[in-house]
Amino acid sequence: MTLFTPDRPLNLTRGGRLDLVEVRYETYGQLSPRRDNAVFICHALTGDAHAAGFQAGADKPGWWDNLIGPGRPLDTDRFFVVCPNILGGCQGTTGPGSLNPATGQAYGLDFPILDMADFVSVHRRLCEHLGLSRLLAVIGGSLGGMQALQWALSHPSDLANACVIAASSRLSAQNIAFSAVAREAIMRDPGFHQGQYNQFGDSPDLGLSIARMMAHITYLSEEALALKFDREPERDGLNHGFGVDFAVESYLHHQGEVFLDRFDALSYLYLSRVMDYFDPFASPQATAAIAAARPNLLVCSFTSDWRFGPQHSRRVVSHLERAGVPVTYRELASDFGHDSFLLPIPRYHDTLRAFLDRAWEVGS
């Protein structure tokens, strides 16, 4: 869907604009006649618009299928669920791999630097297109949670409720460090060609797979890796060499490999960098709007998450509380690290269900 055109371009937070923005999105459930049952989902760094159900021929459902569907916490018998691919992504929405209409070539590093607020601008235009003037809820985990938070802060009257899961309002030096090394691995890959790799029929696969392998270590907790793999050999006993010898090595290789088929290195750079710079409460006016509109906020974190762990969520809660915003905080027990927000952990799903049931009762 073309949502921004030269006569109504996307003006970007840090200056510049995009004259043409396509957005791919999916919806699940039916929009009510009163248009008051819409729940908007924002995906994480490497997610896409396909949040639930099976695409033709696919053997795996969408990334949040365990949460979305009839009788599930995001009950599609009640809710109209919308999930777009993010601006700057590579799964159908305009990003650095898209053609720059001004040059006829892929943008590459000429794509503008984005800001969390730009994602929200695109999401709002999609809502306008769908005739959704007010959302029952905006929900997201990780980078998705940051979008939900940004939306709730900058346009709180758009939404009655927001769920900010395993997210952060301020990356730590360690968070930035991991992302910085991942980006260096990509940009130093000879296949990167200053971001114009498509023109060279090349791609920085080496760097992107290293970035993904490293990121995967940070998505799982030390406990989860130990439970899953411990020191198990990949095959029958350890061979003692530099090949794939431990099961955990095999897992990482596989994750690095399959990622290349579905993700673009430039999108990795652009989207990860938005997180580094995200610091919405730094502005003294940050909570003025949300303090007036007072939507209901749910903030969740997972005990073993060491990427955006409980301390990140507690900081968000503390800012919101000081602004007098009604906020519920849940620190959920889980051994699965940051990835927990994608998993059907009963206590977590119960929490989301209860929050959304109440949202449904109260209405938008």
Residues annotated as catalytic (active site), given as ranges:
142, 305, 338
Q: Report, in Å, the least distance between residue 252 CB and a second copy.
A: 6
- The residues, any chain, with a CB within 8 Å of residue 51's CB and separated by 6 or more, are 26, 28, 41, 43, 62, 63, 64, 65, 68, 81, 83
Spell out the alpha helix ranges (H) of the chain.
116-130, 143-154, 173-187, 205-219, 222-228, 247-262, 265-277, 288-293, 310-322, 346-362
Nearest residue (CB) to a second copy, 218 versus 364: 218
How many CA atoms, within 13 angstroms, populate the side-chain half-sphere of residue 9? 11
Sites of contact with a second copy (CB under 8 A) = 14, 109, 113, 170-174, 176-178, 180-181, 183-185, 187-190, 206, 209-210, 213-214, 217, 220, 222, 225-226, 228-231, 238, 240-242, 245-246, 248-249, 252-253, 256, 269, 273, 276-277, 279, 306
Measure CA 24 to chain center.
15
Cβ–Cβ under 8 Å, residues 16 and 114: no
Distance CA 156, CA 286 (A): 12
Nearest residue (CB) to a second copy, 8 versus 254: 254
Determine how many CB atoms are found less than 10 A away from the CB of residue 206: 17
Distance CA 191, CA 200 (A): 9
- The residues, any chain, with a CB within 8 Å of residue 215's CB and separated by 6 or more, are 178, 182
Reported residue count of the chain is: 364
Nearest residue (CB) to a second copy, 193 versus 353: 193
Q: Report, in Å, the least distance between residue 90 CB and a second copy.
A: 17
Nearest residue (CB) to a second copy, 77 versus 184: 184
Q: What is the DSSP letter of 96?
A: T
Nearest residue (CB) to a second copy, 99 versus 227: 227
Nearest residue (CB) to a second copy, 161 versus 267: 267
Distance CA 355, CA 39 (A): 12
Q: Report, in Å, the least distance between residue 99 CB and a second copy.
A: 21
Q: Report, in Å, the least distance between residue 180 CB and a second copy.
A: 5
Q: Report, in Å, the least distance between residue 239 CB and a second copy.
A: 9
Q: Report, in Å, the least distance between residue 19 CB and a second copy.
A: 21
The closest alpha carbon to 297, from 207, 129, 164, belongs to: 164
Tell me the DSSP string of 26-88: EEES---TTS--EEEEE--TT--S--SS--TT-SS--TTTTTEETTSSEETTT-EEEEEPPTT
